[in-house]
Amino acid sequence: MTEPLPTDVASPDSQSALTARYGDVMMNTFGAPKRIFVRGEGTNVWDADGRRYTDFLSGLAVTVLGHAHPAVLAAISSQLSTLGHISNFFASPAQIALAERLVEFVTSNDPERDAKVFFTNSGTEANEAAFKITRRTGRTRIVAMEGSFHGRTMGALAITANPAYREPFEPLPGEVRFVPYGDAQALAEAVDNTVAAIVIEPIQGENGVVDPGHEFLQAARDIADENGALLWLDEVQTGMGRTGHWLASGPSGVTADIVTLAKGLGNGFPIGACIATGAGSAMLVPGNHGTTFGGNPVAATAALAVIEVIEREGLLEVAQQLGARLTARVEALEHPLVEQVRGRGLLLGVVLAEPIAPRLSEVLLDRGWITNAPRPNVLRLAPPLIISPSEVDDFVAALPDALAASHG
């Protein structure tokens, strides 16, 4: 790790000076920033005092190709120098090509199924579009999952389970019922022919990387079909190779009526997508919804570059292999504070025996590793898909001392 630059008085660009300036001008929605980062390259980032960190969080599962990836940089620069923005009164070849690829991913288990794409700037916007599609069924009820997180805008918040997020902004849209995540019987009991949609994350990241298994998604598909409801899968965090597949739901064999994507889609360039299939693909018509920036040529080109690199470098397989390596080596520590590692690919949760995850994440940050704690007893790991085996091993080697320091 690079040593901090020597200084007696905080310079205008030091951590302490920038943090003070942040507090003067930024709304207090995130608290004080843990660090002020100024540069990134590959799996590393540097703060304003010159310290280097290895990124095991990817900006919350976003930078699947790491920082400043040359292929993404080249694609963005080339497109921006040619055509940057045109609004959605018009289209670009990149937008169309990206939509074609996303349709392939979403219909991989049912290639004959029709599908259409609506581009957005983020995951919560993709979920807002999906929410509107559910309203076009003529029904207003949605069944969502306990432990869910779908975003912070009003529609996405309505289907997010955490009361601390919801209650300050109630009343929220819709008639939403929450059922236990992974409980197919409870889901079947909650869904009838008045329900517009069932909304599920294939893995709940913000709830501590909880995987209900493929059988739950298969049961949800059957329950939706039996009641004429839409099955909506939120793959904002789990999509784009994060779990070792283009979609975490892919291996289940399930084709959803709606899939939402974002995060890893643009490797940090803001873009999201709502993909609807079957009858859902025709439910939004001119005037129902819109966006000024969604799917602009630069964002679409960035996403196409991400897809091309993942395919060319075999990163889906890498995510599976290194996820298995990381899981096996953490569990092989047989540390008394580690109960298990759960998740898939490079979206993993280290489940701890005590509620020390926030402290552990802070200790690791001080030692040059970026992680986070979505739950008091879960440390979330979501490194870039370009992480190396040696970096995985170095992280595992650093974990026991960090655990000891967190527990003391």
pLDDT tens sequence across 380-408: 999 999 999 999 999 999 999 999 999 97
Is 5 inside any structural domain? no
Active-site residue identified among 131, 211, 263, 395: 263
Asked if 36 contacts 238 with a C-beta cutoff of 8 angstroms, the reply is no
Give pLDDT, residue 6.
42
Place of tokens 């904002």: 236
Give pLDDT, residue 156.
97
CATH of the domain at 295: 3.40.640.10
Same domain, 114 and 248: yes
| Dist CA 59 CA 43 (whole Å) | 11
Q: What's CA 377's distance to the chain center, in Å? A: 20
Same domain, 228 and 300: yes
Same domain, 292 and 321: no
Give pLDDT, residue 10.
60
Whole-number average pLDDT of the chain: 96
CATH of the domain at 346: 3.90.1150.10
Asked if 89 contacts 326 with a C-beta cutoff of 8 angstroms, the reply is no
Place of tokens 């190709």: 65
> Does residue 395 carry a catalytic annotation?
no
Which two tokens mark 166? 């919801």
Please report which confidence band the pLDDT of residue 174 belongs to, taking 50, 70 and 90 as the band edges. confident
Which of the listed residues 312, 339, 360 is the one where a domain comes to its end? 312
| Dist CA 385 CA 40 (whole Å) | 15
Same domain, 326 and 398: yes
pLDDT digits (tens, 9 = 90+) for 179-201: 999 999 999 999 999 999 999 99
> Does residue 116 carry a catalytic annotation?
no
| Dist CA 177 CA 187 (whole Å) | 10
Give pLDDT, residue 93.
98
Active-site residue identified among 234, 257, 269, 395: 234
Number of structural domains (the chain) is 2
Active-site residue identified among 118, 119, 131, 149: 149
Which of the listed residues 312, 340, 359 is the one where a domain comes to its end? 312
* Beta pairing partners, 201: none
Is 303 inside any structural domain? yes
Same domain, 275 and 182: yes
- For 97, the domain range is 73-312
pLDDT digits (tens, 9 = 90+) for 270-316: 999 999 999 999 999 999 999 999 999 999 999 999 999 999 999 99
Would you say residue 2 has pLDDT above 60? no
Is 68 inside any structural domain? no
Same domain, 43 and 102: no
Same domain, 214 and 98: yes
Same domain, 369 and 386: yes
Sign of the alpha-carbon dihedral angle for 16, 66, 234, 205 = negative
pLDDT digits (tens, 9 = 90+) for 117-162: 999 999 999 999 999 999 999 999 999 999 999 999 999 999 999 9
Q: What's CA 368's distance to the chain center, in Å? A: 23
Same domain, 318 and 394: yes
* Beta pairing partners, 178: 144
| Dist CA 199 CA 148 (whole Å) | 9
Is 79 inside any structural domain? yes
Give pLDDT, residue 7.
40
User: DSSP string of 326-380?
Assistant: HHHHHHHT--TTEEEEEEETTEEEEEESSS-HHHHHHHHHHTTEE-EEEETTEEE
| Dist CA 68 CA 74 (whole Å) | 10
First vs last C-alpha separation in the chain: 24
pLDDT digits (tens, 9 = 90+) for 14-40: 999 999 999 999 999 999 999 999 999
Averaged pLDDT for residues 216-227: 98
Number of CB atoms found within 10 A of residue 167's CB: 9
Averaged pLDDT for residues 63-79: 98
Is 6 inside any structural domain? no
Is 32 inside any structural domain? yes
pLDDT digits (tens, 9 = 90+) for 257-271: 999 999 999 999 999
Give pLDDT, residue 5.
41
Same domain, 273 and 351: no
Would you say residue 9 has pLDDT above 60? no
Residue 24 CA neighbour count, 13 Å, CB half: 6
Phi, psi (degrees; rounded to nearest 5) at 122: -165, 175
Asked if 361 contacts 371 with a C-beta cutoff of 8 angstroms, the reply is yes
Is 128 inside any structural domain? yes
> Does residue 263 carry a catalytic annotation?
yes
Give pLDDT, residue 242.
98
Same domain, 326 and 304: no
pTM reported for the whole predicted model? 0.95
pLDDT digits (tens, 9 = 90+) for 207-221: 999 999 999 999 999
pLDDT digits (tens, 9 = 90+) for 307-356: 999 999 999 999 999 999 999 999 999 999 999 999 999 999 999 999 99
Is 2 inside any structural domain? no
Same domain, 103 and 174: yes
Among residues 5, 29, 33, which one has the least CA distance to residue 18?
33
Which of the listed residues 312, 337, 357 is the one where a domain comes to its end? 312
Within 8 A by CB and 6+ apart from 28, the residues are: none
Counting every residue, how long is the chain? 408
Give pLDDT, residue 1.
43
Residue 116 CA neighbour count, 13 Å, CB half: 12
| Dist CA 303 CA 310 (whole Å) | 11
Please report which confidence band the pLDDT of residue 12 belongs to, taking 50, 70 and 90 as the band edges. confident
